[in-house]
Structure 1
Amino acid sequence: MDFLFFDFLGKPVWMWLIFLGIVITLMIFDLGVLNKGNHELGVAESLKLSAFYIFIAVLFGGYIWWAWSNGTLVTTDGTNPVASYFQGYIIEKVLSIDNVFVISLIFGFFAIPRKYQYRALVWGIIGVIILRGIMIAIGAELIAAYDWVTLIFAAFLAFTGLKMLVTSEGDPDVSKNPVVKLTSKYMNVTKELHGEKFFIRQPHPASGKMVLFVTPLLVALIVINVADLVFAVDSVPAIFLITTDTFIVYTANIMAILGLRALYFALAALVHRFHYLKYALAVVLIFIGLKGFYSYFFGKFDPYLSLAITIGIIAAGIFYSLWKTRNDPPEGEIPAE
């Protein structure tokens, strides 16, 4: 059992296995219990499930505090792991709201019924766990070899935040997505869904031979995972400017993503109420970017102050959005004249 104490990316193997065990258990719970029978997840159930995932994330944050306080967990960069974990988790969670909007557009384009959406998102987390892990590992290696890479991350985040403040983006056209075009060109895609199946064998229209086809549900899943990579371009550098400890970066990211599936069904109906949150998030990205420059040249920024500023900005964006849109009709409803 000595291998459990081997160092892997700055932490003993047993610590990574505990986290992965939590993730796998939650996924089995999702697929085997919550989504048994492909029932539709209502808004009330979605909010309750989201609260459960937030509780699990906070509980894991408590574990990080306990491990840090007794010396079991020591960050590789000397930062406060508790403040770093929660700040990274909150930023990733807020960035997920934009992700929810894009996911709803993708499901709408492929006409995926709600009863199959949750199952697709559960399977999608497998791809996210792998792809985020690869991105975070590459980022950690780059920073370890060249610490000035953090300045590039800082400049990128500050620029992204400024761009979000001054530009207005329209709805993305899913039909022009290069992934959609590539799958349509190089894969046999059925025109209709086949329940929850990702693959199906049926006669090819040209040859009449039985060949393997992919369904629109799988194509939607691929597009969603590629979209997550695009969103990760913002979120991963942001948390690396908070801490370069790979374990904290990865766990904060994945904990936020795990709850996204449950939160999706509530936010998909309410996302229009959070219109002004985009500007609060832009300010947070600018703040994190500027903090990256400060930390590089002058030393670490107080972690609890950084966490408090992040929470304050995002809370202000949420309350202002809800107040400004308090009289707006629900999404898709025509206002009365």
Structure 2
Amino acid sequence: MANELVFFFGFLLFIILMLAIDLGLFNKKDHEVSFKEAAIMSSVWVAFALGFYIILRFWGDKLHDIQDFDHLQEVTRRHLHNIKLLPENFAASLEIYKKNLALEYLTGYVVEYALSVDNIFVMVLIFTSFGVPPKFYHRVLVWGIVGAILLRFLFIFLGASLINRFEWILYVFGVFLVYTGITMYLNRNEEEEIDPKNHKVVRFASRYFSVYPEFVGHNFFHRENGKKFITPLFLVLLVIEFTDLIFAVDSIPAIFAVTKDPYIVFFSNIFAILGLRSMFFLLVNIIHKFHYLKVGLAFLLIFIGGKMLGHHWLEAWGFTTAHSLYIIIGILAISVIASLLFPRKEHNA
């Protein structure tokens, strides 16, 4: 248990340090993030995520401080890892466990990163609807990520506790993901709209706080004549946090279809969230070109939900984490390639 806490808090310390650097060193003044800057930061976050994969691949046993075969067997059983251990060979069994653990993390990371793209569609819509100047996007997104990390922490470990006590809840998650995927597919061509004045978050905040009528630089709060106001930029931050909460309801059960180890769910989830900001700036001007991506994400959710519902049969057939990763990457690759090969026809007014 002590090792788990050291591993976990070491990870949190790294995240806090990186966010502090991002807010302090790289964001001394408000500016519109360029494509080049976004590409560099995206590469950095992906490199960190892959570096963590290597850590788990070679030192993953340190996460739960596994010392002998009995402990390894207990951890494997508790987290429902789909692997076959070798009772006569502890060293070989440990290698199997570490390889699978790292692969579960990587698969979860890919799933969460892919589902985050749908979040970008909505973020673009939010910023546009509220008329936020592009130079303030970075500040809102970084603080949005801080809130998202706290929310995901609560969701993930609550979900893990529920699964440990009531394993049947996996089937509930599975049905929900299949339903969400089908709904996403059926609504794929609907244009989403956001009404800033009538959004439920705006109405709620306006009921309990005084809202300043215009942006005040990058400030979230403003004081005038002794009275404190929240600014429209803070309302945008609240709307983005609310949106992430809705997306978390889909994405977190999706990763539990890959791994039941809450630490691996958390690590993969957080690395994907941290890369979301730079990915937003990377895709903000070209996201509309990937019009089949929503179809791909819909099939991704249906596949993951189906895997959750039929995991016992799939395990009996020899279906592994690696197979899941191949299918997930295949679905995403097909949706991206189809978008480029068959671009959406522009309708002239």
Separation of aligned partners in 2, 1:191 and 1:77: 51
SS in 1 for 2:338: helix
Deviations 1:204-227 (A, max 9, x none): xxxxxx211011111100110010
Separation of aligned partners in 1, 2:200 and 2:255: 28
Corresponding residue number in structure 2 for 1:318? 336
Corresponding residue number in structure 2 for 1:173? 194
Corresponding residue number in structure 2 for 1:22? 14
Corresponding residue number in structure 2 for 1:144? 164
Deviations 1:69-120 (A, max 9, x none): 6785766415222221111111111111111111122112222211111011
Separation of aligned partners in 2, 1:193 and 1:292: 46
CA contact (8 A) 1:158 1:290 kept: yes
Structure 2 unaligned blocks of 5 or more = 67-74, 82-99
Separation of aligned partners in 1, 2:160 and 2:61: 24
| Alignment equivalent of 1:222, drawn from 238, 242, 250 | 238
The TM-score with structure 2 as length reference comes to: 0.85
Corresponding residue number in structure 2 for 1:207? none
Separation of aligned partners in 1, 2:237 and 2:187: 29
The TM-score with structure 1 as length reference comes to: 0.88
Separation of aligned partners in 2, 1:298 and 1:40: 48
CA contact (8 A) 1:49 1:262 kept: yes
Corresponding residue number in structure 1 for 2:79? 77
How big is the shift at 1:298?
A: 5.7
RMSD: 2.1
| Alignment equivalent of 1:195, drawn from 211, 214, 217 | 217
Paired residues in the alignment total 317
Matched, 1:266 2:282: yes
Matched, 1:234 2:250: yes
Corresponding residue number in structure 1 for 2:321? 303
Q: 1:137 to 1:69 in 2, by over 3 A?
A: closer
How big is the shift at 1:272?
A: 0.3
Deviations 1:290-316 (A, max 9, x none): 111221456373111111111111111
Q: Which amino acid aligns with 1:287?
A: F
Corresponding residue number in structure 2 for 1:133? 153
Matched, 1:38 2:38: no
Runs of 4 or more off by more than 3 Å in structure 1?
69-76, 296-301
SS in 2 for 1:174: coil
Q: Which amino acid aligns with 1:43?
A: F
How big is the shift at 1:195?
A: 1.0
How big is the shift at 1:184?
A: 2.0
Separation of aligned partners in 2, 1:308 and 1:66: 22
SS in 2 for 1:188: coil
Separation of aligned partners in 1, 2:186 and 2:143: 36
Separation of aligned partners in 2, 1:197 and 1:64: 40
How big is the shift at 1:127?
A: 0.7
**Percent identical residues:** 38
Corresponding residue number in structure 1 for 2:85? none
CA contact (8 A) 2:129 2:194 kept: no
Separation of aligned partners in 1, 2:216 and 2:288: 31
Q: 1:72 to 1:62 in 2, by over 3 A?
A: farther
How big is the shift at 1:19?
A: 1.0
Deviations 1:203-256 (A, max 9, x none): 3xxxxxx21101111110011001000011110110111111100111111100
Matched, 1:62 2:83: no
Separation of aligned partners in 1, 2:238 and 2:218: 15
CA contact (8 A) 1:156 1:289 kept: yes
| Alignment equivalent of 2:40, drawn from 48, 66, 69 | 48
Deviations 1:6-40 (A, max 9, x none): 3xxxx611010121122112101211122121122
Q: 1:112 to 1:298 in 2, by over 3 A?
A: closer
Separation of aligned partners in 2, 1:160 and 1:228: 16
CA contact (8 A) 1:106 1:174 kept: no
Q: Which amino acid aligns with 1:281?
A: L
Q: Which amino acid aligns with 1:173?
A: I
Q: 1:295 to 1:111 in 2, by over 3 A?
A: same
Separation of aligned partners in 2, 1:298 and 1:267: 36
